[in-house]
Structure 1
């Protein structure tokens, strides 16, 4: 007659198999009695946590949890024992040698034949790598949200500038061809600046490169009639955006009426950095034209370029500006505070 194993034997075999599986996937395993009190030694747990046998038997496994999470987990553990249900928690677990490491703690009740809890088995699994990956992901998401917010702000800002440029360009009774030419040139200047800003989203924009980009686009090459010089200066995106449009207006005016139009004209662009009254760095910029034969006459019509330099730059950059109509050409002076130096000037 074939002897069939009893239900008790099958249960013992199942429990033994479960323990073997747990031992393979867990860092450490420990047991408590039905009341949740540690009553036996757990060498693997002590090796993992550095917890002494006396502390383990006296204070229990919860004593190895990080102090910031210990109270909450002790509450969860007591509630689980009272209800007789398993718990699955994540916490920082002390490790041998000092410090804490993220672990997943899974604790289940083992029941007697009558369904009552006979004892509890717990196991810990290392989840440090997963937690670090989650942290990196959260930081990436935060940076992405910041970039999206900055992009939205930049788009709103540039649309406001475009509306302003358009409304000022179409003012006055001028041929539509002239209006279109001015508007197209200003839009091109804004577009070039946006390309520069997109290439250097985290760094500042080099002042000299910004100036040379505008001059080269207008066909103005280096030569004896052009002098550009000053220390390395990094601009914020707002400063670069505003100044690029001002440089476009100055260049356009010099090509049509000033030093870049006449053979004997000379253009000198220079800047220095100084300490302002408040202790901040201040940029002092000058655009000086010479050799223009026409008698200087202050224009009666205040165009977009003049309004930009006299009104917009002070409003947007806190700048002090001055435009002088001198014999031989105009002189434009712009002074404004610079950002703190951080070594992030983008010159490419």
Structure 2
């Protein structure tokens, strides 16, 4: 029997339990992993608090660990290999948070031994999201100004690192000044506290009135109009989340007047495409090898405190990734 994170009713972090479950053998095209660390994502909280057709349910997209068993038709892996997981599957089909996890082999990658288990569990979701939006979609390049709302999230920090790696200028957006120094230390060229400063005015000051060519927004809501006001003519606004619970109003005349591209983005479009995913994985591994990309971990919790880890996730006070370790 293995301890698996599940919930028997939807709700807050307190609904999570550690259940003793018999984990099956891997089937065709599958790998079983003995986990060492689990990475938390905002999507985990959305799944846990949403409405499911079938309960109890498992949870989780990201983990690192060792190959425990290999199913038929799988090549390129050996029992004992150090691996981590790319979010490219439905967590309700392959819930991976627990001591043992079954995953499709297409989602399993070997990670460099320069990364700890915690860093490996924090790697793929954030960097693939930022890479796909910024490099593949927006073609971010040297000299570009990039606006990063919710910059203290793991994806926001990955975006700052990726921008720096190509010579772009990342400007971090955060609600208050409380995280200003941490974001500057993380590589932001400037930090705008959105409840204390006018975003459009500050961006114009930072860009000599040119505006930001790329905006990478996970929030939506009323703030999107201000971001569009700060965009450069011909710029690209990528929306990859809807953290705001308020309605999003699009200032159409500003979009037309600036000839903006507004693009919806989800990482699964990248991670479920074999060829695109390979290019992205190689690009990120190269960045890790050159030490220009490195996961920022906010807090590490033991598996036994999975509820506390989810509470930290929902607090909004973190800077970086929340990781859960699995003791052996």
- The answer, yes or no, to whether TM exceeds 0.5 is no
> How would you bin the TM-score normalised by the shorter chain?
under 0.3
User: Higher RCO, 1 or 2 (CA under 8 Å, sep at least 6)?
Assistant: 2
Q: Relative to total residues, which structure has the larger helix share, 1 or 2?
A: 1
Q: TM-score, normalised by structure 2?
A: 0.21
Q: TM-score, normalised by structure 1?
A: 0.20
